[in-house]
Structure 1
Amino acid sequence: MAQPVEVLLRPAVELYTVAVCTGGALLSLLAPWSLALNPLMGVGSALAFATFGALRLHEALVILRYRRNIRRLPRYLMTSRDVPVSQQRLFIGRGFLWEQRHTHRLMQTYRPEFRCYVEPTPAYRLARHLEQRLEFAPFPLSQLAKLAAWDVPLNPVRPLPPVGGMPRLHGIEPQEVDVSLPLGERVGHSLVLGTTRVGKTRLAELFITQDIRRRNRVGEHEVVIVFDPKGDADLLKRMYVEAQRAGRDGELYVFHLGWPDISARYNAVGRFGRISEVATRIAGQLSGEGNSAAFREFAWRFVNIIARALIELGQRPDYLLIQRHVINIDALFIEYAQHYFARTEPKAWEVIVQIEARLNDRTIPRNMIGREKRVIALEQYLSQVRNYDPVLDGLRSAVRYDRTYFDKIVASLLPLLEKLTSGKIAQLLAPDYADLADPRPIFDWMQIIRKRAVVYVGLDALSDAEVAAAVGNSMFSDLVSVAGHIYKFGVDDGLPAVKTSAKADAGAGAGADPKVPINVHADEFNELMGDEFIPMINKGGGAGIQVTAYTQTLSDIEARLGNRAKAGQVVGNFNNLFMLRVRETATAELLTQQLPRVEVYTTTVVSGATDSSDIHGSTDFTSNTQDRISMASVPMIEPSHVVGLPKGQCFALLQGGNLWKVRMPLPAPDPDEAIPADLQQLAGYMRQRYTEASQWWQNIGSPDLQEQVQAQPLPDDLLDDLTDGGAGRDEALP
């Protein structure tokens, strides 16, 4: 028994039947006598012809639409206002669940007999050729080229949209449905892979739009945190517009290292559950490979000593304070000793002053040369009285090091602190809490989560990748610490309205409060990758953290971590995979190797002839022609299919291995998308700065500073020079 073989790439022969049925229906109505029918029977016969013709017309339209979609997909536009926001699911786009029949249809498009239905028509190729030849032609002929490129449905040779790829990958299924992901699956984290300019940011905008506007059943919003290393102006604009539509413009925080004058402020080490977290966040960014491990451990211990002393003195740690005391530990030692002896031994300073007065070059120990005499006197006094204080003992152990040796072992720590405290960035990362005249808000992650706020973090990685990575890792580490606190005690721990006594048990605390969804979107997350990111995706789901990470290839992750095993550990924690067009075969195989092989039908035409051996017979030869149907095992999709995806389309592996083919909606203009002047100005400068890299010398800082420079008149001597013939230099002025 022959197996049915679906063939949709063929002429729409059903149209012949439609034409016959149309003619029969007309004859039955207008001239029933020609068919030997009376008028009443003619009406019935016309209805029968029309019904059968409609069925055949539907079948013909299926063939025609399939052939059209193989060459060109219909437009899919959507304004951000029309993006559906559900309390149960995350909208992705339109597509279909990829099955065996789609692999069979895709394999058919590569057969030579179906090339005429897949490749562009001769008229289309001629129109594109004329466009190239007539681009610089005189007036009448140039209009002919524009007419051929007129992008309207009435133009049979209009150009394809500039998305590249193979339309057949999505055109093999005309019946599309809305594709969505259950919100319960997002806590398993999502990974979006795709090369540059293929739609990753558009997909991020689609997800972020829904996260900002979504409300739960009691009317509460969700937390949205976006890390954008390179600084995408359109993404910032989208976040503001959606926050305004959702009534959350007062909950939007913009943190941008490139524009510190209008950025919110953030202290990465100002909030912690345990004091040791301060040292972990700072020393964790130092290299721990090979011989650097010992220096990293010493840096951790030294920063921890400083942090404990600052807390005892009632000061909030920040990068500036830590850098100051790393450079000069003597001042902190003296300050803490004054604080300690004021509580325990008020008369101790009299003895210390006497010891200091007797010090000279011969009585100073060799390892203390270069230290202040007050520090040496304190050390000698403490060695005599044998007081025990863990913080004071830690400071003593630091000052007992030889000054030159001490500077060498903290040499790896100082460059990191310099990166985080240089210029105006120090005002962002070490905010002055007592300065009430500064309008820039100060935030921390616990505050953001409790307020259900929206945060945009622009790290300006194109200007300084080292600082961007350091700040991003600090934020990730801080967020992991907050997630651990939420997992143990809940979001409302410490607030007056919450009875914390009922949450003494960690497990009870985790289950007492409902989880607050914390949507973390990390664009170009390979640039922010560090050891801090692994526990976030590995254990952050228990606190409600839902990470959506965007990057180009697997090699980016491996190169950042420097370890293939760690890269596999990171990728293994993402349950949902969105694969856009990639150029690396190994990245495409991350998807294709997880899919099963399927059986597809293949048809083979067998033809042969046999000569007759009877020379006296009436038959000279016999011929035989057969159509054989067989089955072959092939991969569901190949890596080459992933490489050939058009822009804005992806393969999505969702809900435990279901493969969906999805295309995202293209953004349609919306007239009411307006942002305030300062953010609009910032977005404009971000576009100029990041797209016109060749004019980097014209960037002189923030928009406010640039306006001041432009408004400031030139000196008279410079104006004279320009008048005398140096006008060429005016072009280089910003």
Structure 2
Amino acid sequence: MAPSQTIEVLLRPAVELYTVAVCAAAALLCVAAPWSLALSPLLGLGSAVAFLAFGAIRLREAWTILRYRRNIRRLPRYVMTSREVPVSQQRLFVGRGFRWDQRHTHRLMQTYRPEFRRYVEPTAIYRVARRLEERLEFAPFPASSIRKALGWDSPLNPTRPLPPVGGMPRLHGIEPDEVDVTLPLGERVGHSLVLGTTRVGKTRLAELFITQDIRRRNPAGEFEVVIVFDPKGDADLLRRMYVEAERAGRSGEFYVFHLGWPDFSARYNAVGRFGRISEVATRIAGQLSGEGNSAAFREFAWRFVNIIARALVELGQRPDYLLIQRHVINIDALFMEYAQHYFATHEPKAWEMIVQIEGRLNDKNIPRNMIGREKRVVALEQYLSQVRTYDPVLDGLRSAVRYDRTYFDKIVASLLPLLEKLTTGKIAQLLAPDYADLNDPRPIFDWMQIIRKRAVVYVGLDALSDAEVASAVGNSMFADLVSVAGHIYKFGIDDGLPDTMPGVKVPINVHADEFNELMGDEFIPMVNKGGGAGMQVTAYTQTLSDIEARIGNRAKAGQVVGNFNNLFMLRVRETATAELLTRQLPRVEVYAASMMSGATDSSDPTGRTAFTSNTQDRVSSSSVPMIEPAHVVALPKGQCFALIEGGNLWKIRMPLPAPDPDEIMPKGLQDLAAAMRRNYVEADDWWQNADASEPREPTLPMGLDDEAQS
């Protein structure tokens, strides 16, 4: 095969093998009977070496053809245990593949030509074997043993079935020479977007990235922060994270927050930490609808929650969902408590006058708008109207209690259902933790603490059970992360701590699976400005329409997508999503050979020439897209196109996971993972045929259960 040919054709018979056979026979003849070729034994030996050298060259060329034809039908198996995943301080390992260029487009176009069909489609014996498997599915012995033999997954089986990954193997088989594909860690600050339909390998790719993030150390020996949002709750992902944290010696900094399993979950106050007090109202009111007439109600809810949060902070109390709900329902109690706190320090004698005013109140002299409220509240309001006391918190509470009670209940009607969802049952213990309860072994964390400890956090939001609560908590966490990122950007992660080095940034790896279910307006500044604080977001979702449907605005959806510099495109079912990749690629020239022949009769009846003929081989070129959306739709499971490092297109396949023999979890997390598997029913993993079933997780001795929960 001469590589300098104008048109490269690899789908053809390996004719080089004929030359190899001749060279082998000639070499044997030169050694065994040099006299038959009029050679001396020494010259015969030299000739044999020359023949073997030339045969080796032709054999290498023949092997290229044979390997190419094999890969077009079936790719070699690519399996890797988690221990074998390479972890680098400079690059992120993605898988094996090749950089796509014009040659690969040309080769792919050739596979669609009818003359090459026999090299691309399954062989006749393969098709017969699959039909026999179908017919013998319920056959009795010994016919059932024939079916097992036909489906034997071994290289020794000539009718070995293809792996259950679907798609077209030719998309990756057109380049036999694979290399390890990596992404420079410096590019991750530009954020990464992973698109792929259900059950095509997004979670496997996430496991690959998360494994490296958990085990990676910087040159100073420090780990990176890893935060994983998993709306649906994937037990295998939780298991993988714990195993890698244990293997890296980070199990003491491993936190599990799961709304569906509050007994095993760590606790988190979504509104307990803030840079500005107004952030509390933003995180809560941001979950309310802002479209149409709802915008006015959301603005009022924001103002009302902000008044309550300011009062709680002035009273020395940490805001949480339970306290805010309690005071939304009964603002009078907070008004009286704060007034007592304020007058105790500013006007100690004010209560004597307030008690006198309260004693003179009756049903006739209470203002209409204050009917239904306690007399002490009415007396406070009347006293404040008589004296010139300025306190912004007290004035805000006073303006709230002056609303008519019926009118007030109407305008906060949209806020109460949200607070009810977040404070019902055991979820209230997670989102409004009791910091004074020393008997509760479940840890309480906040994002600044997580970042300073370089911890690993798994956030399961149980979206399959209650999507609205999952979305509200997820949005609050995102908003809290944005606030923390802003603080880190300005002051660093060790602000206020002694003996710290200013300006040190820690990579914060945020993995958001099904992020369209969690995102809101809070997500846009995270991907837009969070990189300055070291935040590296990797988002996983199915289609672009999911993002647009969640935000409700095409321009904002484009704004979100435009902030992701790295794109990993697995198989998708929406053409518009596939075009996000294909429209960014150039067009390339592909070549095709055509043979033309013709004959022309002679017009001279007396001439000696009856006709003339000619035969021509022509090479034509045409401009085609580098890849089409149809190629993205036809990707096998576990494979993707990646647009990384400034628009370079790579074709990648991820390694199939092989079970590790020492994957042990504490009993508490074993029970949690087992319960998640029982309750979250999903399709079979596409990589199950990669190896034998996973080993049974051993039960640990007593005492480690408490360790898992602490």
What TM bracket, shorter-length normalisation?
Answer: over 0.9
C-alpha contact 1:9 1:67 (8 A) present in aligned 2: yes
Q: 2:228 corresponds to which residue?
A: 226
**Cα shift readout 1:19-51 (whole Å, capped 9, x = no counterpart):** 000000101111111111111111101100100
Match of 2:368 among 363, 366, 369: 366
Q: 2:653 corresponds to which residue?
A: 663
One-letter identity of the residue aligned with 1:377: A
Q: Aligned to 1:215, what secondary structure does the other structure show?
A: coil
Report percent identity of matched pairs: 85
Matched, 1:677 2:667: yes
One-letter identity of the residue aligned with 1:143: S
Q: Name structure 1 gaps, 5 residues minimum.
A: 500-511, 694-734
Structure 1 residue 141 displacement after superposition: 1.8
Match of 1:267 among 266, 269, 273: 269
Q: 2:706 corresponds to which residue?
A: none
Structure 1 residue 498 displacement after superposition: 3.9
Q: 1:104 corresponds to which residue?
A: 106
Q: Aligned to 2:142, what secondary structure does the other structure show?
A: helix
Whole-Å separation in 2 of the counterparts to 1:496 and 1:433: 25
Q: 2:42 corresponds to which residue?
A: 40
Structure 1 residue 620 displacement after superposition: 2.5
Q: 1:650 corresponds to which residue?
A: 640
Q: Which moved more, 1:646-655 or 1:678-687?
A: 678-687
Q: 1:393 corresponds to which residue?
A: 395
One-letter identity of the residue aligned with 1:420: L
Q: 1:404 corresponds to which residue?
A: 406
Q: Name structure 2 gaps, 5 residues minimum.
A: 684-710
Whole-Å separation in 1 of the counterparts to 2:517 and 2:275: 27
Q: 2:509 corresponds to which residue?
A: 519
Q: 2:689 corresponds to which residue?
A: none
Whole-Å separation in 2 of the counterparts to 1:633 and 1:423: 63
Structure 1 residue 523 displacement after superposition: 0.1
Whole-Å separation in 1 of the counterparts to 2:504 and 2:162: 49
Whole-Å separation in 2 of the counterparts to 1:301 and 1:669: 54
Whole-Å separation in 1 of the counterparts to 2:470 and 2:511: 16
Whole-Å separation in 2 of the counterparts to 1:215 and 1:419: 40
Q: 2:611 corresponds to which residue?
A: 621
One-letter identity of the residue aligned with 2:505: K
Structure 1 residue 350 displacement after superposition: 1.2
Structure 1 residue 123 displacement after superposition: 0.6
Q: Aligned to 2:612, what secondary structure does the other structure show?
A: strand
Whole-Å separation in 2 of the counterparts to 1:142 and 1:615: 75
Whole-Å separation in 2 of the counterparts to 1:65 and 1:634: 27
Q: 1:188 corresponds to which residue?
A: 190
Whole-Å separation in 1 of the counterparts to 2:33 and 2:504: 76
Whole-Å separation in 2 of the counterparts to 1:82 and 1:478: 36
Whole-Å separation in 2 of the counterparts to 1:588 and 1:533: 23
Match of 1:689 among 674, 679, 687: 679
C-alpha contact 1:525 1:551 (8 A) present in aligned 2: yes
One-letter identity of the residue aligned with 1:610: T
One-letter identity of the residue aligned with 1:197: R
Whole-Å separation in 2 of the counterparts to 1:182 and 1:93: 14
Q: Aligned to 1:340, what secondary structure does the other structure show?
A: helix
One-letter identity of the residue aligned with 1:545: M
C-alpha contact 1:3 1:629 (8 A) present in aligned 2: no
Whole-Å separation in 1 of the counterparts to 2:248 and 2:481: 25
One-letter identity of the residue aligned with 1:153: P
Q: 1:131 corresponds to which residue?
A: 133
One-letter identity of the residue aligned with 1:637: I
Q: Aligned to 1:691, what secondary structure does the other structure show?
A: coil
Matched, 1:254 2:256: yes
Whole-Å separation in 2 of the counterparts to 1:359 and 1:496: 57
Q: 2:67 corresponds to which residue?
A: 65
Whole-Å separation in 2 of the counterparts to 1:207 and 1:680: 23
Q: Aligned to 1:211, what secondary structure does the other structure show?
A: helix
One-letter identity of the residue aligned with 1:137: A
Q: 1:328 corresponds to which residue?
A: 330
One-letter identity of the residue aligned with 2:466: D
Paired residues for 1:329-728 under 5 Å:
329-498=331-500, 512-691=502-681
Whole-Å separation in 1 of the counterparts to 2:513 and 2:160: 35
Structure 1 residue 621 displacement after superposition: 2.2
One-letter identity of the residue aligned with 1:290: G
Q: 1:712 corresponds to which residue?
A: none
C-alpha contact 1:66 1:171 (8 A) present in aligned 2: yes
One-letter identity of the residue aligned with 2:248: A
Q: 2:177 corresponds to which residue?
A: 175
Whole-Å separation in 1 of the counterparts to 2:384 and 2:147: 91
One-letter identity of the residue aligned with 2:657: P
Whole-Å separation in 2 of the counterparts to 1:50 and 1:3: 25
Whole-Å separation in 2 of the counterparts to 1:304 and 1:490: 27
Structure 1 residue 616 displacement after superposition: 3.3
C-alpha contact 1:191 1:576 (8 A) present in aligned 2: yes
Whole-Å separation in 1 of the counterparts to 2:138 and 2:394: 81
Q: 2:83 corresponds to which residue?
A: 81
Structure 1 residue 619 displacement after superposition: 3.0
How many correspondences in the alignment? 680
Structure 1 residue 330 displacement after superposition: 0.0
Structure 1 residue 692 displacement after superposition: 7.2
Structure 1 residue 614 displacement after superposition: 2.5
Whole-Å separation in 2 of the counterparts to 1:434 and 1:607: 93
**Cα shift readout 1:202-253 (whole Å, capped 9, x = no counterpart):** 0000000000000000000000000000000000000000000000000000
Whole-Å separation in 2 of the counterparts to 1:608 and 1:188: 60
Q: Aligned to 1:139, what secondary structure does the other structure show?
A: coil
Query: What TM-score do the two structures reach when normalised by structure 1?
Result: 0.92
Query: What TM-score do the two structures reach when normalised by structure 2?
Result: 0.95
One-letter identity of the residue aligned with 2:631: H
Whole-Å separation in 2 of the counterparts to 1:9 and 1:670: 39
One-letter identity of the residue aligned with 1:414: L
Whole-Å separation in 2 of the counterparts to 1:417 and 1:138: 61
Match of 2:280 among 278, 283, 298: 278
